[in-house]
Amino acid sequence: MIELSPEELELEKQEILKRYRKLLRLAKPFLKDNDAKLIKKAFSLSAEAHKDMRRKSGEPYIYHPLAVAQICVEEIGLGTTSIVAALLHDVVEDTHIELNYIEKEFGHKVAQIIDGLTKIAGVTDQTSSMQAENFKKVLLTLSEDVRVILIKIADRLHNMRTLEDMPRNKQLKISSETSYIYAPLAHRLGLYTIKSELEDLYLKYTEREVYDEIAKKLQSTKAARDKFIKDFISPIEKSLTQEKLQFVIKGRPKSIHSIYSKMKKQQIPFEKIYDLFAIRIILDEIKYEDEKAACWKVYSIITDYYRPSPERLRDWISNTRANGYESLHTTVMSTTGQWVEVQIRTRRMDDIAEKGYAAHWKYKETGANKGTPHESGLEIWINKVRDMLENNNTSAIEFLDEFRSNLFNDEVFIFTPKGDLKVLPLGSTALDFAFEIHSEVGQKCIGAKVNNKLVPISYKLQNGDQIEILTSSKQTPSEDWLRLVATSKAKAKIRESLRDEKRQFIRRGKEIVDKKMQQYGLEVNDNVYNDIRALFNDKAVADMFYRFGKGYIQPTELKQYKEIVLKRRNSSRENIKDVKSFEKVVQKIHSPENKDVLLIGEDMDKIDYKLASCCNPIPGDDVFGFVTVTEGIKIHRTNCPNATELMSHYGHRILKAQWASKMEESYTVGLRITGTDRVGIINDVTRIISNELKVNMRSLAFDTIENVFEGNCTVLVHDTKHLTMLIEKLQEIQGVEQVIRYDS
């Protein structure tokens, strides 16, 4: 425990009061009656409950609930109930105070929100993920109060802002959870600013060098960018003023994460990304009924000066996005030959874009957009999520993956035979539409007519389709249907129909496994079932039994498991379940001077490991260890395609990892080389690789289309320094434009 002098304690006390007063100032505009007293009561209780607690940084713990409450008010726009809940959100979980006391002192609503925010005590099923279970619990409260999720996002944002003091493995775990679920959820709830910051912070803690490099380049180009923006908006400002419009024009750089995503997607360096920023025009003092016309008027003025790209016009005013987002987007060509994205919106639209759900409800309550066809974009989505939650009884990890896949798909707009508009996720099929109408229609669906043309149930819906469902009383859902639908509602209803049949196959499958294990003389228990599940790559033990019951896996294939058990017995190695049990069986490598080793765990013990084939890490890469159920520790790069999912689902299995090279060994790396073709260029490439740097090549393939070549080669390098040297040498070859590493 940190010992502070009386002077330091007094300074801390003053700082706590200063932060509390700032919170009250921010909340003052909407406080009513006894709200201030209620907030003070919550603050006093929280401060007292957390008085002996400190964060990893050494700061008083009360700073955290105060910061979360401030984010709720200032950045999300929530009210008194949320402030009180934010101040108290950790007291039930971390202190002696119980939920019934909270309910007695602050009412049922606050207690209900805090209960939703309190983590579950534990998970007994070894295949479960604590993170997934907790997130599922938070989402289940959505049926009652969306503020639980908004406060959870505020809590996560402050944790990400203060992640610097956490251990490396915790940084990776928390960042990955954030990228996998919280940033997409913030986006879906319309919290674009928070979503961008969460993504940037994720990149900061998972790929620090990339983050710092892009941030540095953005800063170095700021002066030139500011001048460009000033010149670009000058004629627009003049015309808008002449039209007597009240407006604000902002020019802001795109987030570091979005720039990096574009660099990776298009495989281009920072210098070749031209749309590094967007211009936003916000109109003030526009009546709701005049908003659409005013935005198109501004569009007309902009296109008087700059040529627009018709392919990149997005009208989110006529077709409001499912999260309530409204704006008119266009991309125009500047006089300097640079494409510029311009966003046109009113103050109301901008508030909803910045503060999402809370702003949507504020305007609804004031009647600013009451009775309009667009007012329920968010409500429709929230109702769909509630429907999904009510009809979902899958495991937490399946639930998490399914929720995420349904979270952020773009929408497709289709029509019923009577002309009613329906909105479904992009990728939805005729079968999805059938279940959207009614579960019985879905279960009996045999096909559809789209624009009077007969189509199968797997037909993917297109914008503007008018669809009529065809049914038959003899039709019943099959397991294949799950692959044909995109919506959670359809999947839930199909699973419900298949559940009874599935239970029978699960029982049959368990009997098959038990009988075979008995023949092999092996005892059966939950650990054995779980090991067999992992061996056959199933997500749940029940899925494994089902596949045996259906005959998808033959009983004779269990011989693999028998051989694994015998090997374990012969090597006297214990079954690895988690980090703690693994530490007990850490094996020292006998001749560390003879090979590269990886130092893993809190004590940095030298242990056996395998390199993951999905990302091929090499010495010098930023890596982490992942404890598998049957294959010991696997080493992944932190930017591995699978890293985010592994760390968000199984954070408790993540180990800190660090290379400690004793001797040069060779590791396989893939390189993609692109450029303009010329006679002798392949010879130059092979000369650099084989002769000059003495690098071994596993494979080399070049292809040329209209004077542009692309080559893929697999080479053996010692570490990232060796790889960097090779890439730099190759980039010096005349005609070579780009050399990038890829996962071979």
- The CA angle 397-258-133, to the nearest 5 degrees, is 15
pLDDT tier at 371 (50, 70, 90 boundaries)?
very low
H/E/C letters for each residue in 271-297? HHCCCCEEEEEEEECCCHHHHHHHHHH
- The 3-state DSSP class for residue 225 equals helix
Q: Check the CA dihedral 25-31-36-38 and report its sign.
A: negative
Distance CA 729, CA 686 (A): 12
Residue 292: phi and psi, rounded to 5, are: -60, -45
**Which stretch of DSSP H or E encloses residue 469?**
strand 467-471
CB atoms within 10 A of CB 221: 16
**410-439 pLDDT tens trace:** 678 788 888 777 878 888 999 999 998 888
CA–CA dist 692, 265 (Å, integer): 32
* Tokens standing for residue 689: 């690789």
Instruction: Give yes or no for a contact between 635 and 609, defined as CB atoms under 8 angstroms apart.
Output: yes
The reply to whether 717 falls in a domain is yes
State pLDDT tens for residues 595-635: 444 565 444 445 667 888 888 888 878 888 888 877 778 88
Domain range for 631: 579-660
**Alpha carbons 369 and 374: distance in angstroms, whole number:** 8
Residue 168 pLDDT: 85
What span, in angstroms and rounded, lies between the C-alpha atoms of 666 and 151?
49
Edge-to-edge strand ranges of the sheet holding 467-471 = 453-455, 445-450, 467-471
Residue 396: inside a domain, yes or no? no
Within a domain: 720 = yes
592 and 539 fall within a common domain? no
Residue 710 belongs to domain with CATH number: 3.30.70.260
Cβ contacts of residue 122 below 8 Å, gap of 6+? 130
Q: What is the Cα–Cα distance from 505 to 511, expressed in whole angstroms?
A: 10
pLDDT band at 583 (very low <50, low <70, confident <90, very high): very low
Locate 581 and state its tokens: 């049990």
As a whole number of angstroms, the distance between CA 213 and CA 203 comes to 12
Q: What mean pLDDT comes out for the span 625-652?
A: 80
**Mean pLDDT to the nearest integer, 83-90:** 93
- Residue of higher predicted confidence among 466 and 359: 466
Is residue 683's pLDDT more than 80?
yes
In this predicted structure, the answer to whether residue 344 has a pLDDT above a threshold of 90 is: yes
Q: Domain boundary residue among 508, 543, 571?
A: 571
Together in a domain, 204 and 164: yes
* 127-140: average pLDDT: 63
More confident of the two residues 502 and 89 = 89
What tokens does 444 get? Answer: 């009996």
Q: Are residues 89 and 76 in the same domain?
A: yes
- Per-residue pLDDT at 623: 84
**Is the same domain home to 623 and 530?**
no
Mean pLDDT of the region 437-463: 89
For position 124, which CATH number holds?
Answer: 1.10.3210.10
Beta pairing partners, 587: none
Question: Which sequence positions are flagged as catalytic?
Answer: 93-94
Say whether both 87 and 11 belong to one domain: yes
**How many domains, in total, are found in the chain?**
5
- Cα–chain center distance at 472: 41
- Residue 469 within a domain: no
40 plus 127 within the same structural domain: yes
Say if residue 233 is in the same domain as residue 200. no
Domain annotation covers residue 650 = yes
> How far apart (Å, rounded) are the C-alpha atoms in residues 549 and 65?
51
CB count in 10 Å sphere of residue 598:
23
| Beta pairing, strands 277-284 & 339-346 | parallel
Has residue 300 been placed in a domain? yes
What Å distances lie between residue 474 and 7, 433, 444, CA to CA? 81, 20, 7
Domain final residue pick, 610, 635, 660:
660
**Could you give the CA distance from residue 146 to residue 222 in angstroms, rounded to a whole number?**
39
Q: For the range 588-597, what are the long-range contacts, defined as Cβ-Cβ under 8 Å and sequence gap of 24 or more?
A: 592/662, 593/662, 593/663, 594/662, 594/663, 595/662, 595/663, 595/665, 596/659, 596/660, 596/661, 596/662, 596/663, 596/664, 596/665, 597/660, 597/662
Clarify whether residues 242 and 309 are in a common domain: yes
Domain annotation covers residue 434: no
pLDDT digits (tens, 9 = 90+) for 24-35: 999 988 888 888
Alpha-carbon distance of 520 to 508, in angstroms, equals 19
Going by pLDDT thresholds of 50, 70 and 90, the confidence category of residue 248 is very high
Do 223 and 326 share a domain, yes or no?
yes
Amino acid identity of 165?
A: D
The CATH number of the domain holding residue 324 is: 3.30.460.10
**Mean per-residue pLDDT over the chain, rounded:** 81
Provide the token pair at 298: 């501004």
Specify the pLDDT at position 406. Answer: 58
pLDDT for residue 582: 41
Q: Which two tokens stand for residue 525?
A: 């228990």
Q: What is the pTM of this model?
A: 0.65
Name, in order, each residue with C-beta under 8 angstroms of 181's C-beta and a sequence gap of 6 or more: 135, 400, 404, 648
Domain annotation covers residue 236: yes
Q: Quick one: 264 and 200 in the same domain?
A: no
Residue 383's identity, in one-letter code, is N
How far, in Å, CA of 744 to CA of 670, rounded?
A: 5
Q: What percent of the chain has pLDDT over 90?
A: 23
Tens digits of per-residue pLDDT, 43-78? 999 999 998 888 888 889 999 999 999 999 998 888
Same domain, yes or no: 533 and 565 = yes
Q: Label the pairing between strands 623-627 and 654-660.
A: antiparallel
14 in the same domain as 161 = yes
Q: Which residues contact 646 (CB under 8 A, 6 or more apart)?
A: 176, 626, 636, 653, 654
Q: Give the least confident one: 152-166, 291-305, 638-652.
A: 638-652
Say yes or no to pLDDT of 541 above 60: yes
> Rounded to an integer, what is the distance from CA 259 to the centroid of its chain?
17
Average pLDDT over residues 453-474: 89
Which of 633, 660, 687 is the C-terminal boundary of a domain?
A: 660
Higher-pLDDT residue of 133, 636: 636
